[in-house]
Chain A
């Protein structure tokens, strides 16, 4: 799914990485538990939906090679998080929708889960 399309579906706002290379999202994983994110074997073209909004979210995605992160329920990304995300060419998105709502919308639109 194209960036433009999932942004429209979940009413997402890009807050960092707008100019990083566009890649289609093929799978979605939703978790607030970073240890769970670290068990993902193949994170190519993966979108992570999370309500956990701190530096460890970005660090975890750096190690797990997750490039697209959607922060739900109005969580605000800090400048420090943006800097680290830019270094790692990540796309950070904020939405007011809940994790359940985003998951439901994207699932219904045809994006499969990872597990």
Chain B
């Protein structure tokens, strides 16, 4: 099953609507609730990142019996130093993002701890691509 969602940068009132839709689908399909939670927490952090940092983005979800794979592609400033961005506490978020309860430098580390696989690629001045996968079997639990 494939789904695609558009995300607008700066649109905080709708931030999380994709994560909410994916949560509903996973629940309807009867995926283990613990895996649903881990996946949507990571996806929500990633979705908020697009809203907070990028101009726009596309979230593609590929779901089968064994795993969920999510690719988030955004057009935005990109991440100059991914290693730094993966460190807890490092953030370049605006005061507006902090007012929303984010921007403490926990997003990428939190995504990593909730997904079996996470890959971040970025080109400064163009955008960022985040690929993440969770498996429905217990092999990575």
Which A residues are within 8 Å of any B CB, using their own CB?
A: 32-39, 52, 54-57, 59-60, 62-65, 80
Contacts and interface: CB of A to CB of B under 8 A. Distances in A.
Given A33-B104, A52-B101, A56-B102, A38 B41 contact: yes
B99 to A, nearest CB: 8
Interface stretch (B13-21, B55-63, B70-78, B117-125): B13-21
Closest 4 CB pairs of A and B: A34-B101, A59-B16, A35-B106, A63-B44
B13 A63 contact: no
A69 B124 CA distance: 39
B13 A80 contact: yes
A102 B20 CA distance: 30
B72 to A, nearest CB: 15
Contact of A36 (B15, B99, B104): B104
Contact of A39 (B12, B13, B16, B106): B106
Interface in B1-56: 12-13, 15-16, 19-20, 23, 37, 40-41, 44-45, 48
Q: Give the residue among B16, B100, B101, B113 with the most A Cβ atoms within 10 A.
A: B101
Interface of B: 12-13, 15-16, 19-20, 23, 37, 40-41, 44-45, 48, 99-102, 104, 106-107, 110, 113
A56 B40 contact: no
6 contacts: A35-B102, A54-B12, A55-B16, A62-B23, A63-B19, A63-B44
B17 to A, nearest CB: 8
Interface of B is mostly: helix
Given A33-B101, A39-B106, A56-B101, A63 B15 contact: no
Contacts of A33: 101-102, 104, 106
A35 B93 CA distance: 13
Nearest to B105: A35
Given A62-B23, A80-B13, A35 B37 contact: no
Contact of B107 (A35, A55, A57, A60): A35
